[in-house]
Amino acid sequence: RSNLHSVRIRPRNVAVVMDNNGSRRRPEVIVDFVVEEGMLDVCLRNVGDSSAYRVRTAFDKPFYGLDGEKLISSMRMFREVAFMPPGKEFRQFVDMLGRYSKRKEPMRLKATVSYRDRAGNRYQDTMAHDLRVYLELGRARLASETKGG
């Protein structure tokens, strides 16, 4: 199998890139939250097969990070990113998850991402996140570890 892609020309000379299976290649930009070692990060990532343009993200609720000092949801990376090639990721540390939760920051958020492809086609995707799931996750300890053995 070849990784070559064909280009089909539409009326008005708009190129649409197709893969070998006839599927259209497109950008797909997501917002994701990641917790590693108790640190909460938010990511904006193009997981699609082509570049995204004019990427804008709107959250249903504002949220703060860095001990409540920084309004994360209104950062430039969410207001507008002019260009995101495939695989590009912007990642921002929010806070330690425990601190974030204790401040009563929103644990359930929706992020709506809108963007365009090279031909100007518009896309919009909404992702729902429930950060409470991370509060339930932890490292399991063997009974012998907790009894000093």
Measuring CA to CA, how many Å separate 90 from each of 32, 34, 108, 137?
11, 12, 21, 25
Measuring CA to CA, how many Å separate 144 from each of 14, 138, 139?
66, 17, 15
Instruction: In whole angstroms, give the CA distance from residue 34 to residue 107.
Output: 13
What values do phi and psi take at 48, rounded to 5? -85, -175
Q: Which residue has the higher pLDDT, 131 or 12?
A: 131
Tokens of 67: 């001990």
Instruction: In whole angstroms, give the CA distance from residue 101 to residue 96.
Output: 9
Instruction: In whole angstroms, give the CA distance from residue 63 to residue 70.
Output: 9
Which of left, alpha, beta for 138 (phi over 0: left; psi -120 to 50: alpha)?
beta
What confidence tens digit (pLDDT) does each residue in 124-144 have?
Answer: 999 999 999 999 886 544 454
What confidence tens digit (pLDDT) does each residue in 16-62 have?
Answer: 455 556 556 899 999 999 999 999 999 999 999 999 999 999 999 99
